[in-house]
Chains A and B, each alone.
Chain A
Amino acid sequence: MFNVGVKYCGNCNPVINSKKILDALVKGMPGCRFGPPDAGVPALLILSGCETDCATRPGLQVETIVVAGLSVDYVSCKEEDIPEIVTKKLIEIKGRMMA
């Protein structure tokens, strides 16, 4: 099982539904376990509701994917494309770690 730490921003005025995005990821990636951003997780997923991206970082030096409003890793995208983009990135991270 590949553990991914998830950190939300608090969602004061979100332009995306972060929970729905995570649900899609959980459903689409049965080989991944999405849980709290504890020490020891090999990857981190930041889910910020808007592009201000104010989620406090847990201070882990691990591969990180940043979803911030309508963007993934600071590249604009549509909300419905976010799970697919994140999935691709997680597969790449997993591949790098296996290599």
Chain B
Amino acid sequence: MPMMTGAEYIESLRKLNTEIYAFGQKIENFVDHPLFRPHINAAAVTYDMAHEPEFEDLVTVKSHLTGKKINRFTHIHQSTEDLVKKVKMLRMIAQRTGTCFQRCVGFDGLNALYSVTYEMDQALGTGYHKRFVEFLKYVQENDLMSAGSMTDPKGDRGLRPSQQADPDMYVRVVKKTGEGIVIRGAKAHQTGIVNSHYMVIMPTVALGEADRDYAVACAVPVDAPGIFHVFGRQTNDERRLEGEIDTGNARYGIVGGEALTVLEDVFVPWDKVFMCGEYQYAGMLVERFASYHRQNYGGCKCGVSDIIIGATMTLAEYNGAAKASHIKDKITEMLHLSETLYCCSIACSAEGRKTASGAYYVDPLLANIVKQNVTRHIYEICRLAHDIAGGFIATLPSEKDFLSPKTGPFLEKYFRGVAGVPTEHRVRIARLVENMTGGTALAESMHGAGSPQTQRVMIMRQSNMEHKKRLARKLAGIPEQE
């Protein structure tokens, strides 16, 4: 099958038997359900844009496996140019959706597994890479969306997987047969999983010998027997069931649509198993995946910030405050913060390196700097947006009150800003700012792709401290041998 369009992608989801629960109920038709549809629309943009000549240089690429034109979200980076184009693509798509379009997590999982399975085979004589390449070809040829399933529920954070009171706190292998393996556990915070085709499972942490059963990487259809998904709540999610304006971004929603995915003794055939017991390589897989994923945030979050900044400036104009010097200064600060994120993402891509498999990997130090900045800059950008927007983003009455014959005319009158701008426009932009800058959207910047401390550990580890100390000693006139 050639690259899918957005409509074909949406149709492909109807053919799955994905078991989903939300608000205490089993969801029968998630594709047309207002809780899920905005996230599906956002993911569909990644498919549609591949068919638009204006965007194809970023969204499509030639497969190094088949030579065919494929969607970049299924590609293995073959150069630093590929890494840079990934960032540009993410920014460009986020400028259209204003939210997470979910397809990068699986993309990063595929790239991490590609190089790690290769190196694992070289060192241990296993045969995972060939299997993985077959799966990858299948993904590319069918233009599939995969969820990147790394995070386990983790139970007691102070204990290793094998030390947990409940052994299911991390996904593990409970049985091996001639045909495959059976896995049990759950994956948490799974972005876009309900509207994916496959989940690419990886371990969450570096593992020791006692954790051997937890060293498992594999690909499973999201509707495989034994799998069900419980959809996570988001700030303001019920507004989707009520109307349009109050959601802010009715077409694409906010964040990615995350779920807890439960794996109750799920069978995985050997041809989809890419790590099974090789605990020594879990750490490398986690680090590669995390670095690829942290690279993204100066792309997509910068695209999202482009919209927040545009919305904030528009609101300042609607409020009649745009010419004030402090407003201009705050907007400049928002631009500075956002473009700093972009600089970091471009830098870690341009400084990318070749791996033994031939695939390219980002500079892990700079990629971790990107994400560390995101945990701060996005909060500051949103704080400044709140400052400039004014308090009405927290107190606006509902869309229904604007439509009511009794209250509507008064709201129309008292929520007006400068003359010539309809009140509804001011309200729409305010709702966009409100929904893009608070609650779930903020927490994603903090924990998505790992909590801040995980980046700090990586930053210190990659810091090349000996070199810095040597340079300092030399300038201070301390002899080298000391």
Instruction: Given A14-B467, A52-B363, check contact A75 B356 (CB 8 Å).
Output: yes
Within 8 A of A (CB), among B434-482: 464, 467
Query: Quick check: is B265 within 8 A (CB to CB) of the other chain?
Result: no
B-to-A contact residues, CB < 8 Å: 119, 122, 351-356, 363, 464, 467
A56-83 vs B, Cβ < 8 Å mask (1 yes, 0 no): 0000000000001000011110000000
Alpha-carbon gap, A15 to B363, bound state (A): 13
Query: Quick check: is A38 within 8 A (CB to CB) of the other chain?
Result: no
Q: Is the CB of A52 within 8 A of B122?
A: no
Alpha-carbon gap, A76 to B467, bound state (A): 19
A54 to chain B: closest CB distance in Å?
Answer: 8
Alpha-carbon gap, A82 to B363, bound state (A): 21
- Of A13, A14, A74, A76, the residue contacting B354 (CB under 8 A) is A74
B102 to chain A: closest CB distance in Å?
Answer: 30
User: Would you give 5 A-B contacts (Cβ < 8 Å), ordered by A?
Assistant: A52-B351, A53-B354, A68-B353, A75-B119, A75-B122
A38 to chain B: closest CB distance in Å?
Answer: 25
Query: Which residues of chain A are within 8 angstroms of B355 by Cβ–Cβ distance?
Result: 74
Query: Which residues of chain A are within 8 angstroms of B119 by Cβ–Cβ distance?
Result: 75-76
- Of A13, A53, A68, A73, the residue contacting B467 (CB under 8 A) is A13
Q: Is the CB of B467 within 8 A of A51?
A: no
Chain A interface, DSSP helix/strand/loop, else mixed: loop
Determine the residue in chain A with the shortest Cβ distance to B357. Answer: A74
How many residues belonging to A are interface residues under a CB distance threshold of 8 Å?
Answer: 12
Instruction: Given A52-B363, A75-B122, check contact A15 B354 (CB 8 Å).
Output: no
Query: Which residues of chain A are within 8 angstroms of B464 by Cβ–Cβ distance?
Result: 13-15, 50
Within 8 A of B (CB), among A17-46: none
Alpha-carbon gap, A75 to B363, bound state (A): 16
Query: Which residues of chain B are within 8 angstroms of A53 by Cβ–Cβ distance?
Result: 353-354
Alpha-carbon gap, A14 to B465, bound state (A): 11
Determine the residue in chain A with the shortest Cβ distance to B354. Answer: A74
Q: Is the CB of A51 within 8 A of B356?
A: no
Query: Which residues of chain B are within 8 angstroms of A76 by Cβ–Cβ distance?
Result: 119
Alpha-carbon gap, A12 to B356, bound state (A): 23
Q: Is the CB of A15 within 8 A of B467?
A: yes
Q: Is the CB of A52 within 8 A of B353?
A: yes
B473 to chain A: closest CB distance in Å?
Answer: 14
Query: Which residues of chain B are within 8 angstroms of A75 by Cβ–Cβ distance?
Result: 119, 122, 356
The 10 A-B residue pairs with the shortest CB-CB distance in the complex, in nearest-first order: A74-B356, A51-B353, A52-B351, A15-B464, A52-B353, A75-B356, A74-B354, A74-B355, A53-B353, A13-B464
Alpha-carbon gap, A75 to B357, bound state (A): 9
A59 to chain B: closest CB distance in Å?
Answer: 18
Query: Which residues of chain A are within 8 angstroms of B363 by Cβ–Cβ distance?
Result: 52
Query: Which residues of chain B are within 8 angstroms of A14 by Cβ–Cβ distance?
Result: 464, 467
Query: Which residues of chain B are within 8 angstroms of A52 by Cβ–Cβ distance?
Result: 351-353, 363
Alpha-carbon gap, A75 to B351, bound state (A): 18
Query: Which residues of chain B are within 8 angstroms of A51 by Cβ–Cβ distance?
Result: 353
Determine the residue in chain A with the shortest Cβ distance to B355. Answer: A74
